[in-house]
Amino acid sequence: MNPIIIIGAGLAGYNTAKELRKLNPEIAITIIATDSGRFYSKPMLSNALSAKKEPAAIALNSPEQMATQLNATVRPHTTVEHIDTATQTLHIGEERLAYSKLVLALGADQIQLPLTGDGAADVFTVNDLDEYTEFRQRIEQKKRITIIGAGLIGCEFANDLAVAGYQVDLIDLAPQALGRLLPPAGSSHLQEKLSGLGVNFHLGTSVASINNNASGYTVTLANQHTLETDLVLSAVGLKPRTALAAQSGITVNRGIVVNRHLETNAPNVYALGDCAEIEGLVLPYVMPIMNAMRALAQTLNDKHTATVFPAMPVMVKTPACPTIVSPPAAGAVGEWQIEASSEGVKSLFMGADGKLLGYALNGSATTERSKLTPLLPPVLSAL
């Protein structure tokens, strides 16, 4: 019988294989990775400096170790060029590789801004361990780092770099940090604490150009303010990797479209993780991935299982201001109720019927997570 093939060796791919192997010790599994295939925790990249972890220490296992551990075939540095869903084969150069079931755990790419200036091509992104290793090498002996994007990853990197002694400038077009997750009161508290570390915020503006100068780069903002910096890091968000699926005839929208069983429109082809869109939702966080891979492993083992997503708070790794968010669903009707102090901010999004639909907790308010989370509605529940 042809193997189950998983394309992607990140959190979603490897953990799906781990869970499947628990259920079935005999089934053949092949994992294909475009990168080095090392197993590591990607969320660790944005706080490794303050944790005093060198890039080499972040990788938990080599691809060879993962192959042994999973009793699977792991193929690093391998690019799938096409999926023939009719014959259930993958095209890898001249090679044709047949599958019984296929899992797309392709992840997501950093969004690339259309920046101008002769230094624009030098803007860094950190989306995997290889890029992070190069980033760490580049910032040695440097002092000034500019980050584009004050969302979750941008704020986490800003906290980490500032604690490590770097001068950090954080730029965002939005009027507040973490604007998609926090109400204004919570955002203000986060900004206050990060500013206390020395992070300089430039909000409500964008980057007009990045140009080389004698010592590094000059970043010119749309408001005409200029920043002198040694390196520019872009962290404006992620875009699901959909190109392989789309050119293979698999339906994509914002992500690869799947149902609650993580099935695509192609027979025996599934998707999960950052690349997947389930009933209109793209959920690029650890907890949704872990829920999805457990259900998918059951389905791959011939026990058709729907994915259930309970309320899944997002923990923002900003130690200067511990933050936990469970945002209300898009289109939810209600209003924020705020309790603020110098130590923390509790923001509750209450529906018209008085039910809790979401929350944002900063600082000392994070201690209420365990009490509030059971009151939240599920993100998705089984039909």
313 in any annotated domain: no
The tens-digit pLDDT sequence of the chain (383 residues) is 899 999 999 999 999 999 999 999 999 999 999 999 999 999 999 999 998 999 999 999 999 999 999 999 999 999 999 999 999 999 999 999 999 999 999 999 999 999 999 999 999 999 999 999 999 999 999 999 999 999 999 999 999 999 999 999 999 999 999 998 999 999 999 999 999 999 999 999 999 999 999 999 999 999 999 999 999 999 999 999 999 999 999 999 999 999 999 999 999 999 999 999 998 889 888 889 999 999 999 999 999 999 988 888 999 999 999 999 999 988 889 999 999 999 999 999 999 999 999 999 999 999 999 999 999 998 764 33
Task: Write out the two tokens for 356.
Answer: 């809790």
The angle that helices 152-163 and 184-196 make with each other, rounded to 10 degrees, is 20
CATH number at residue 185: 3.50.50.60
Residue 222 DSSP symbol? T
Residues 123 and 210 in one domain: yes
Strands 276-278 and 256-258: parallel
Q: 228: domain range?
A: 112-234
pLDDT at 7: 98
Report the predicted TM-score, pTM, of the whole model to 2 decimal places: 0.93
**CA 8 to each of CA 97, 129, 256, 336, 338: distance values in angstroms, whole numbers, following the listed order:** 16, 14, 14, 39, 42
Residues 244 and 95 in one domain: yes
310 in any annotated domain: no
pLDDT at 378: 86
Q: How many domains are contained in the chain?
A: 3
Residues 181 and 200 in one domain: yes
Residue 48 DSSP symbol? T
How many whole angstroms separate alpha carbon 270 and alpha carbon 43? Answer: 24
pLDDT at 380: 60
360 in any annotated domain: yes
Residues 269 and 346 in one domain: no
Please say whether the beta carbons of 131 and 138 come within 8 A: no
Please say whether the beta carbons of 347 and 185 come within 8 A: yes
Please say whether the beta carbons of 211 and 232 come within 8 A: no
- Given 203, 234, 265, the domain boundary residue is 234
